Chain A
């Protein structure tokens, strides 16, 4: 379960640094709540705005993603060593 309240407090920039799967799950939860129907209009609008930000963050992540490669047994065994 993703804490959407915590995500809502983040700036757009911070949001787009979160793990992609977390963003997608948060977006899914938001949609389900919106579709669920037991919330008021004002709350719906607030959720929707948050959803738009989540969506934008997802798109940013997808657009800017670059494969990270680490090789064990070489320099920086646990660190993220870019592929050369």
Chain B
């Protein structure tokens, strides 16, 4: 009794103190209903984080497939066993069907099934352990395809900047296609979307995706292709790790964008794509420019044109001005010429005057000289000139004979005379 009261927290059960004469202060034991017990066990299990997300390896025993479409089996190893439930949806998605004795790796959560008071594994992913787990398969294929060169950066093509037709491979129902059309309508309604519908989960998904891709590859004039799928479990996304799908993606004739699941989901198809988008909506955004920004881009182009033209006009004006100035420099300067001419005239006049003055002075001095040298001046001083009959100036008395006529010229007039006698002396007498 004491154990029970410590085991079951009294705060969570109805406090109903029962009067007891012998032990008045002791709490009475709680009698639980089975339902309450199972509910409590279930809530304990549900609260456990590890049990909510667990991988278990074991052997399938006696699977049953009731008409509901679900599958129930026991998973066991040498020492223990646990019941497992694989519901119809997960079973459809699983790439295998559990059979008795098969070794499997299971992912799921542990919960209590209240009606039967049992706990069991609710399976969401099941793979045959013999074939290796999903991660090992993924790694093996990734290495193989990488070695084949499918993931090389050199293969990646740029996404066309101005697409006119974009092909889309996805499920025609559900949020992904709606998101893609919404993004396109908002960002770049100039484009045509070509949907190639496909299922994107379950065992048939991989070949269906490949067919949908190939239908698009046959389309003319596609600029870009988007391959998209919404989020889901590892198993949900598994077809995007299928070798057929990865190779089909790598073989796309035009650039292909893959957007599968959420940011953290990276499939092999992502590696093979020309561009990996974290989500389907992001794939749509990466596939086309934003037309709301295009209006700005276009307006900016127009403004550039305007300023280029205005600049060209201003440049022309500057050029014309410069030309005009250059021409003005070349034109004859009348004023300057006039000035220069006038200067020249002045200088000429001045020079001429100077020259004239000099001439005059020269002439006057010459005149004075001449005057002093002229016989008239000499005659004025009292000298006389005697001329013979043959009009020679007489300088030697011996040159004339007695009785010969002489003409004596004096300062004023002349004297006709005859030689009475001659003598060779006499000139000294004049000077003495």
Q: Is the CB of A55 within 8 A of B195?
A: no
CA distance A59 to B190 in the complex (A): 12
Task: Determine which of A30, A41, A47 lies in contact with B316 in the assembled complex, contact meaning CB atoms within 8 Å.
Answer: A41
Chain A contacts with B in 19-61, Cβ cutoff 8 A? 19-21, 24-25, 27-28, 30-31, 34-35, 37, 39, 41, 44-45, 47-48, 51-52, 55, 58-59, 61
Q: Is the CB of B295 within 8 A of A72?
A: no
Chain B contacts with A in 129-173, Cβ cutoff 8 A? 161-162, 164, 172
On chain A, the residues within 8 Å of B172 by CB distance are 71
Which of A35, A41, A67 lies at the interface centre, i.e. has the most chain B CB atoms within 10 A of its CB? A67
Task: Determine which of A30, A66, A68 lies in contact with B305 in the assembled complex, contact meaning CB atoms within 8 Å.
Answer: A30
On chain B, the residues within 8 Å of A21 by CB distance are 161-162, 164
> For chains A and B in complex, what number of residue pairs have CB atoms within 8 angstroms?
109
Instruction: Tell me whether B216 is interfacial, beta carbon within 8 Å.
Output: yes
On chain A, the residues within 8 Å of B185 by CB distance are 67
CA distance A55 to B308 in the complex (A): 15
Interface-located stretch among B296-304, B391-399, B415-423: B296-304
Q: Is the CB of A83 within 8 A of B312?
A: no
B313 to chain A, nearest CB (A): 7
A72 to chain B, nearest CB (A): 5
CA distance A64 to B315 in the complex (A): 39
Instruction: Tell me whether B199 is interfacial, beta carbon within 8 Å.
Output: no
On chain A, the residues within 8 Å of B291 by CB distance are 62, 65
B284 to chain A, nearest CB (A): 11
Q: Is the CB of A51 within 8 A of B302?
A: yes
Residue on B nearest A19 in the bound complex, by CB: B164
Instruction: Tell me whether A11 is interfacial, beta carbon within 8 Å.
Output: no
Q: Is the CB of A80 within 8 A of B216?
A: no
Q: Is the CB of B193 within 8 A of A24?
A: no
Q: Is the CB of A59 within 8 A of B304?
A: no
Residue on A nearest B297 in the bound complex, by CB: A24
CA distance A65 to B110 in the complex (A): 54
On chain A, the residues within 8 Å of B191 by CB distance are 67-68
Q: Is the CB of B190 within 8 A of A35?
A: no
Tally of contact residues, B, Cβ under 8 A:
38
Q: Is the CB of B305 within 8 A of A34?
A: yes
Tally of contact residues, A, Cβ under 8 A:
37
CA distance A1 to B375 in the complex (A): 113
B55 to chain A, nearest CB (A): 39
Q: Is the CB of B312 within 8 A of A69?
A: no
Chain B contacts with A in 178-225, Cβ cutoff 8 A? 181, 184-185, 189-197, 212, 215-216, 219-220
Which of B194, B297, B313 lies at the interface centre, i.e. has the most chain A CB atoms within 10 A of its CB? B194
Q: Is the CB of B189 within 8 A of A67?
A: yes
CA distance A4 to B316 in the complex (A): 25
On chain A, the residues within 8 Å of B368 by CB distance are none
Task: Determine which of B181, B215, B295, B301 lies in contact with A62 in the assembled complex, contact meaning CB atoms within 8 Å.
Answer: B295
Q: Answer whether A44 and B312 are a contact pair too, CB < 8 Å, given A27-B301, A55-B302.
A: yes
On chain B, the residues within 8 Å of A65 by CB distance are 189-190, 291
Residue on B nearest A39 in the bound complex, by CB: B312
Q: Is the CB of B308 within 8 A of A70?
A: no
On chain A, the residues within 8 Å of B299 by CB distance are 55
Task: Determine which of B193, B297, B301, B312 lies in contact with A41 in the assembled complex, contact meaning CB atoms within 8 Å.
Answer: B312
Q: Is the CB of A69 within 8 A of B190?
A: no
On chain A, the residues within 8 Å of B184 by CB distance are 67
Q: Answer whether A70 and B192 are a contact pair too, CB < 8 Å, given A24-B294, A24-B297, A52-B302.
A: yes
* 11 A-B contact pairs sorted by A residue (CB < 8 Å): A21-B164, A34-B304, A34-B305, A62-B291, A62-B295, A68-B191, A69-B195, A72-B196, A73-B196, A73-B197, A80-B192
- Knowing that A24-B162, A48-B305, A52-B305 touch, tell me 4 more A-B residue pairs with CB under 8 angstroms: A24-B298, A41-B316, A71-B172, A73-B197
Pairs A-B, 4 closest by C-beta atoms = A21-B162, A34-B308, A68-B192, A65-B189
**Chain A residues close to B by CB (< 8 Å):** 19-21, 24-25, 27-28, 30-31, 34-35, 37, 39, 41, 44-45, 47-48, 51-52, 55, 58-59, 61-62, 65-73, 78, 80, 83
